[in-house]
């Protein structure tokens, strides 16, 4: 069982608001994420989950409020190699690019080494270990474009862990994922949390699943509606409000 160390604050969000133009998308969000936690970020479509993730990653500046990463103000934060990110779809990566699985995972080392430094034997060992971790070792010489969506996602997780981060932000893959692939994805990231003691933040579209998996649930709907253990969240009126009949948010996705 992974341990949460409440003395180590990995992310501190204080009173953050954000708007795209005039439309306020996030309002007065305060949230702390501690070392070893596995936080499921849930909420309806368009609730601001991705926006909040981008703010935590420093990709969008908050309009109001403060963010600290590892105790350092986001504006001064430099150790980006401590932070891993696995997007839902690898939009910034053309899977038709003729790169092998191993090459893709080695890209995860650049954050540690600087973009123009050559990778060496140690990087190869770390990349192979990461592939082992996600169960994709035997695919290392295959082209990334030849793999299934679920397998590509595993490779992107391997790329993130090859950077030896302390926290990983993930966006749950949704499109074209069958329930077996989804189960494997959840089993893998639970293992990363338990065995590598990696702090995880996962945007999930499946309340039923994430409440069985995560250690805490943060429910966002412009404001932070709820931040509690899955058990308490499920008992709350908020879960009932959102869950509706079929216990999922998976009815209509926007891209």
Q: Which residues in this chain contact ligand ADP in the complex, by CB under 6 A?
A: 20, 25, 43, 45-51
In this complex, which beta carbon is closest to ligand ADP, that of residue 45 or of residue 229?
45
Tokens of 103: 């090459």
**By the 8 A CB rule, do 176 and 95 touch?**
no
CB of 222 to ligand ADP, least distance (A): 8
CB of 36 to ligand ADP, least distance (A): 25
Q: Cα separation of 99 and 45, whole Å?
A: 34
CB of 239 to ligand ADP, least distance (A): 16
CB of 21 to ligand ADP, least distance (A): 7
CB of 229 to ligand ADP, least distance (A): 22
In this complex, which beta carbon is closest to ligand ADP, that of residue 50 or of residue 223?
50
In this complex, which beta carbon is closest to ligand ADP, that of residue 127 or of residue 239?
239
Q: Cα separation of 250 and 5, whole Å?
A: 33
The pairing of strands 216-221 and 38-42 is: parallel
In this complex, which beta carbon is closest to ligand ADP, that of residue 151 or of residue 211?
211
In this complex, which beta carbon is closest to ligand ADP, that of residue 24 or of residue 120?
24
Q: Cα separation of 177 and 117, whole Å?
A: 36
Tokens of 161: 């862990």
**By the 8 A CB rule, do 162 and 130 touch?**
yes
């Amino acid at each position: 069982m992974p341990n949460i160390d409440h003395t180590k604050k990995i992310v501190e969000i204080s009173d953050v608001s954000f708007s795209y133009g005039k439309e306020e998308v996030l309002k007065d969000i305060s949230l702390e994420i501690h070392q070893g936690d596995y936080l499921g970020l849930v909420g309806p479509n368009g609730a601001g989950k991705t926006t909040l993730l981008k703010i935590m990653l420093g990709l969008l500046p908050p309009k109001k409020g403060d963010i600290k990463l590892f105790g350092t103000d986001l504006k001064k934060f430099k150790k980006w190699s401590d932070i891993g990110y696995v997007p839902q779809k690898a939009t910034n990566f053309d899977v038709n690019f003729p790169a092998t699985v191993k090459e893709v995972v080695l890209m995860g080392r650049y954050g540690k080494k600087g973009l123009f430094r050559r990778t060496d034997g140690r990087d190869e060992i770390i990349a192979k270990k990461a592939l082992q971790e996600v169960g994709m070792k035997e695919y290392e010489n295959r082209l990334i474009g030849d793999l299934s969506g679920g397998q590509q996602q595993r490779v992107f997780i391997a790329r993130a862990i090859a950077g030896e981060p302390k926290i990983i932000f993930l966006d749950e893959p949704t499109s074209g994922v069958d329930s077996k692939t989804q189960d494997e994805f959840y089993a893998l990231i639970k293992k990363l949390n338990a065995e590598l003691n990696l702090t995880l933040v996962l945007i999930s579209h499946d309340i039923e699943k994430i409440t069985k998996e995560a250690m805490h649930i943060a429910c966002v709907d412009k404001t932070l509606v709820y931040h509690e253990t899955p058990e308490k969240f499920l008992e709350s009126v908020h879960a009932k409000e959102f869950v509706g009949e079929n216990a999922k948010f998976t009815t209509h996705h926007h891209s």
